[in-house]
Amino acid sequence: MRVIRYQEIADSLRERISASGAGTLLPSEAELSGEFGVSRVTIRRALEVLRERGLVDSRQGFGWYVAAEPLRQRLGELATIEGQLAESGIHAERRVLEFAFVPAPDRIASVLQAEQVLRVKRLNLADGEPFAVVTVWCPAELAHSISRRNVEQQPFYELLGIPLRGATQTIGADGASAGDAALLHVPALSPVLRCERITTDTSGRPVLLSEHVFPAHRTEFVVELPNAAPSVTPTGLRLVE
């Protein structure tokens, strides 16, 4: 029986993506068109076949990628996403990219009330695939006993050695910078979720400021809302310029 060309391409791509990690980007439709010597219409039909089988998906700004369940982070308690991933059977790891005591940039100095800070930048991976770029700033006076090896293995909350009250987390949409895009294996300026967290001690003093950049096609934040008076406006929503 004659096999339709787009089905042949779908079968070929299926073998390719079976060896790829969740969220891995596929070549663009134009690149696949050149590779297989067919029109983009034929390539798109092949990709649609794979999407119907739940193997790939697409999103504006990303193109096509290997489909998988999104990485979910529950909001409502001061916890690490690594711990939440472990509960789902996903192996999480951290790779420290930068570890240095530096003068605090103006905004960091204003929030943490510190002139000198420890700045740590790391790449978080889930089952070997990058899912977050994280930068953490901590007042130097609280960080002298913290080592590079420490932050590869433990969350900052445990390393500070002081009781914490909680954190305020702000999440917004953004486009990936060239540096973050390279680390996350996504196109530059593609959609990301940028999360800023300010952690305070029991007196209310900010002791950590962290920025987390997540690829939007792989990430979901889940918030459980208590029963309250009905409203058409989501709790916590505010306008930004």
pLDDT digits (tens, 9 = 90+) for 76-89: 766 677 777 888 78
First to last CA, the chain: 60
DSSP 15-48: HHHTTS-TTPBPPPHHHHHHHHTS-HHHHHHHHH
> What is the overall mean pLDDT for the chain?
88
**Range in 29-33, 76-80, 98-102 with the lowest mean pLDDT:** 76-80
* pLDDT for the residue numbered 237: 62
Mean pLDDT calculated for residue range 218-228: 78
Q: How far apart are CA 13 and CA 50, in angstroms?
A: 8
Q: CA–CA distance from 233 to each of 55, 172, 229, 230 (Å)?
A: 35, 17, 11, 9
Domains delineated in the chain: 5-66 (1.10.10.10), 71-223 (3.40.1410.10)
Residue with tokens 């696949």, as numbered in its chain: 32
Q: Which two tokens stand for residue 28?
A: 């663009």
Residue 174 CA, distance from chain mean position: 12
Q: What tens digit of pLDDT does each residue of 62-71 get? A: 789 998 777 7
